[in-house]
Amino acid sequence: MNLASASVTVGTGPISFADVTAVARHDAPVLLPAAAREGVASTRRIIEGLAQDVHPHYGISTGFGALATTFIESDRRAQLQASLVRSHAAGSGPEVEREVVRALMLLRLSTLMTGRTGVRPVVAETYAALLNAGITPVVHEYGSLGCSGDLAPLAHCALAVMGEGLVRDASGTLMDGGLALAAAGITPVVLAEKEGLALINGTDGMLGMLVLALADLSRLLTTADIAAAMSVEALLGTDAAFAADLQALRPQLGQATSAANLRALLAGSPLLASHSGPDDPTVQDAYSIRCAPQVHGAARDTMDHAALIAGRELASAVDNPVVTLDGRVQSNGNFHGAPVGYVLDFLAIAAADVASMSERRTDRHLDANRNKGLPPFLAHEVGVDSGLMIAQYTAAGIVSVLKRLAVPASVDSIPSSAMQEDHVSMGWAAARKLRHSIDGLGRVLAIEVMTASRSLDLRAPLTPGAATGAVRALVRTVADGPGHDRFLSPEIEAIVGLVASGAVRDAAAGVVGPLA
C-alpha cells in the first residue's frame, strides 16, 4: 500500500496504529464521514442549550481549573475560550518533531469526532484541513505535565486553528499561523463555548509518541534478534540453547518468538556446523548470547502490554467535561496520563536492557581472550590499528545514557493550578525520553551488526548462514570490510540508517521469510 496516498477515515470509532503512522509519517490525507459530522453537530446542540442556562456549567459558562466556580457571562465566553488557548500555549524549548505534532493532532481530531466533546463540526473540519494542508503548529519540548493531559502542546495546535501562533507549512517554512491558513484557503475558527477546552484536554501527545515508539520498537527488537544471531555465529557459539523444547519449559510468549527467530536465522549455518557435534568445546555460551531470547522476549512482552494500553487509549474519548450518551455534561478524570505514562516508562527500561545486552556481545567480539581466535579489537595490524575499539566505547556511552533514561518519569508529580491539579502523570516527559531511548537502541544495535559483520569476514573461509550473510552483504554496501583503520563515524551512521529504515530486518527476512 502507498501510505502517502491512502486516506485515513476518522469517525466515531477508534483509529488504528497504522492510521497514526500513516498520517504522522507519510502525510496520508484525513477524511471525516458525514454521519460522524452529524453526530458532532447533534452533541453541539446540547452544549448550546446549556449555554443558555442561568446555572453554571464547567467549561461552558465557568472559568477553568482553580477558577471553575467563576461564572462567565455569555458576552465574554468567546474571549474566555480564546484566552484559555493563548494562555496555555506556554511551551518552551526546542521544537517537537513534525511526526509527533501530526500524531497529536490526529488523535485530538479522533476524540473530537466521537461526538463526546461538544464542539461544532467546523472545529473538527478545520483541524483536518490543517493536517491535509501539511501545516504543522510549532510545539515545544517543555510545557506538559501530563495532566490535564498535554495542555501546552495541544494549546499550541489550537492556537493554529485560530489562525494565531507559529507554524511550519508543508515545505517546512516557519511562518505566522494566520498567513499559513490564508495561503491554504483555510478560515480560522472563532472558538465558542467549550471548544477551547475540548482542544486542549487529552493524552494525545504522549499517546502519539507511544504509538510511533511501538512501530519503531517492533523493528528494533527483530533487528536485535538478527544482531544476536550474527554474534552467535561469529563468536563460534551454539544454537542448542534455542531449541524449541527448551524454550517451551518456560512458556513466555516473547521469549518463544525471539528463539524462533534465532533458530530460523541460524538454520544451516556453515559456521555453526564447523564446530558442532559431540566434540564441540562450547558447553554453554555467556549470558549475552545464551539468554538473548529471554531478554529480547521480555522486551517483546513489555511491548505487547504497551500496545494493549495504547489500543484502549485509541478507543477513548478523553476530554473534560464530556457529553455523555444520555446528554449529561460531566466532569471526569480521564485526561490523567498514568496508563500511558507507565507503559512509556516500561518501554524505556526494556530498550535500555536490550541495548545493554547488545553492547556486551559487541565487547566479546573485540576481546582476544573471549572471541575464540579473532584478532584483538578486530584490528588489521595489531598495535598499529585500533580496529573497532572505540566503536564499543560509543555503544557503551549510549547504553549509559539509556540507563539514566530508564529512570521512570511517571513516579514524579509536581502540583499545579493552585493545588487543583495536585497529582500529575508526567506522561509527556516519559514519552520524550523514550524517543531518545529508541534512537540510542538503534545505534547500539547498528554497532553490533557492524562488529559482527567484521568478525564474520575474519572467519573466512568459513561462511555464515544465508540470512546473516545477507545482512553482512548489506552492511558491505555502506561500510568496507576488514582493513587498516579509517574514519569510522560515517560507516556507523550509515549502518544506523540501515537499521532505522528496516533494511537490516528486510535483508534477513528476504532469505528466511517474515520474522516476528
CA distance 417 to 90: 14
Helix, strand, or coil here: 176? strand
> Which of 17-49 are b and which e, b meaning 16 or more Cβ less than 10 Å from the residue's Cβ?
bebbbbbbbbbbebebeeebbebbeebbebbee
Q: Helix 98-112 vs helix 121-133: angle between axes, to the nearest 10 degrees?
A: 160
User: Is 58 a known active-site residue?
Assistant: yes
Nearest Cα neighbor of 42 from 149, 135, 128, 115 is 115
Beta partners for residue 107, in sequence order: none
Q: In the numeric block, which cell numbers belong to residue 60?
A: 461552558
Report yes or no: 230 and 468 within 8 Å, Cβ to Cβ: yes
CA distance 428 to 146: 6
Strands 30-31 and 136-137: unpaired
Report yes or no: 102 and 135 within 8 Å, Cβ to Cβ: no
Question: Which member of 58, 127, 287, 342 is catalytic?
Answer: 58
Under DSSP, the state recorded for 239 is S
Prior bond to 461 cis, omega within 30?
yes
Report yes or no: 153 and 108 within 8 Å, Cβ to Cβ: no
Nearest Cα neighbor of 412 from 432, 434, 431, 427 is 427
Q: In the numeric block, which cell numbers belong to residue 257?
A: 518468538
Scanning the structure block, which residue is given the C-alpha cell 536465522?
265
Under DSSP, the state recorded for 182 is H
Q: In the numeric block, which cell numbers belong to residue 88?
A: 496555555
E strands, 260-398, where?
322-323, 329-330
Strands 136-137 and 166-168: antiparallel
Beta partners for residue 166, in sequence order: 176
Residue type, 400: S
Distances (CA, A) of 440 to 79, 307, 404, 405: 45, 21, 12, 10
**Residues assigned a catalytic role:** 58
